[in-house]
A = this chain, B = another copy of it.
């Protein structure tokens, strides 16, 4: 067939896609991993351009998206909006309407990355993507915004399934706030909660008082668990929460206070200092059901997790990093290729 039924569809959050559609992505990503340079996939974007906008730099995301385009026969252009002369409240320049409409003439898709430090209020990054999507004739892919990180969520699911033979349904994910010196975004964590609750996992969300996430997202996660007959629990005990976990995802995130009076990462790092015992280590892992360790990387070793666990035999971090490439290739092929 010339185009998939997902041709032209944006990927801003996995919750904008049905579970069946996500399963199609994951199945194709599996094929693409098994037959990485097969001629079946090598020309799906031949001679086509994918545009990448990095409001925030990121090596892993850039590498994996640019490699994805190359492996599909196309080319990804790396742009930083500092060179874009876009209109803002402070300066004359081009409107998003004009920028998006022109890009739609040159390319087959646009990836955008914009995190909390580039916007004034929580959610404005995600809104920017949806503004581009409104005017663009070609799909907008979220390469991580202040709310969501869909390709990380897909890569997490793919990596866990590769190792948990019996599937994710009924297994328990501990989403753990790891102490850290980097004050991370909510995007990876929220996407993990959203997609894994839809996959039927039990969710334990553990963090120190004061580190709650987006209430709307958490309401969705609870509803997903209820619908699937799985459990949802919040814990503020940094040890007991490990009991019976099948997967531990230890990752720092900032508190809602980070946005109060303007985003301030340094204040957040100071605030986290009392919580150095919030670390994933071998002793705590003994309480689990032989859990796997996952993380979206870069890992803040010695804070979020010990070296022993991060480099241990049940760590899936490199496999999941690799899976970013495969799920991205799958979504790019499904939403942009006219040459199936």
Residues of A within 8 A of B (CB): 37, 42, 46-49, 51, 57-60, 62-64, 66-67, 70-75, 77-79, 83-85, 92-95, 97-99, 101-103, 105-107, 180-182, 297-301, 303, 311, 317-318, 321-322, 325
Q: List 10 A-B contacts (CB under 8 A).
A: A47-B70, A49-B70, A58-B83, A59-B99, A63-B79, A92-B182, A92-B303, A102-B322, A106-B322, A106-B325
Contacting pair A107 B63 (CB below 8 A): yes
Contact (Cβ within 8 A) A102 B70: no
Given A92-B182, A297-B98: A83 and B57 interface contact (C-beta under 8 Å): yes
Within the complex, the shortest CB–CB distance from A93 to chain B, in Å, comes to: 7
Interchain CA distance A106-B106 in the complex, whole Å: 26
Contact B95 A301 (CB under 8 A): yes
Residues of B within 8 A of A102 (CB): 60, 63, 297, 318, 321-322
Q: How far is the CA of A115 from the CA of B277 in the complex (A)?
A: 40
Residues of chain B within 8 A (CB-CB) of A62 are: 77, 79, 83
User: How many identical chains are in the complex?
Assistant: 3
Q: Nearest residue in B to A69 (C-beta to C-beta)? A: B75
Report the bound CA distance from A181 to B37 in whole Å: 49
Contact A59 B84 (CB under 8 A): yes
User: Which B residues are CB-close (under 8 A) to A311?
Assistant: 97
Option from B60, B66, B94, B299 in Cβ contact (under 8 Å) with A297: B94
What CA separation (Å) do A317 and B78 show in the bound complex? 25
Verify A322–B92 contact, CB threshold 8 A.
Answer: no
Q: A321 near B105 (CB under 8 angstroms)?
A: yes
Chain B residues contacting A105 (CB-CB under 8 Å) are: 318, 321-322, 325
Given contacts A47-B71, A63-B77, A66-B77, 9 further A-B contacts (CB under 8 A): A49-B67, A58-B83, A67-B77, A70-B74, A78-B78, A94-B299, A102-B297, A105-B318, A106-B325
Interface-central residue, A42, A58, A78, A106, by most chain B CB under 10 Å: A106
Residue among A49, A93, A180 having the largest count of chain B Cβ atoms under 10 Å: A49
In angstroms, Cα B93 to Cα A301, docked, is 9
Chain B residues whose C-beta falls within 8 Å of the C-beta of A42 in the assembled complex:
46-47
Question: Given A95-B301, A106-B63 in contact, is the A47-B37 Cβ separation under 8 Å?
Answer: yes
Cβ–Cβ < 8 Å partners of A180 in chain B: 92
Given the known interface contacts A47-B70, A70-B48, the answer about A79 and B95 at a Cβ–Cβ threshold of 8 Å is no
Give the Cβ gap from A104 to chain B, nearest Cβ, in Å: 8
A58 contact set on B, CB distance < 8 A = 83
CB pair B37 A59 closer than 8 Å: no
A70: contacting residue among B63, B75, B99, CB under 8 A = B75
For the complex formed, measure the closest distance between the CB of A167 and the CB atoms of chain B, giving whole angstroms. 24
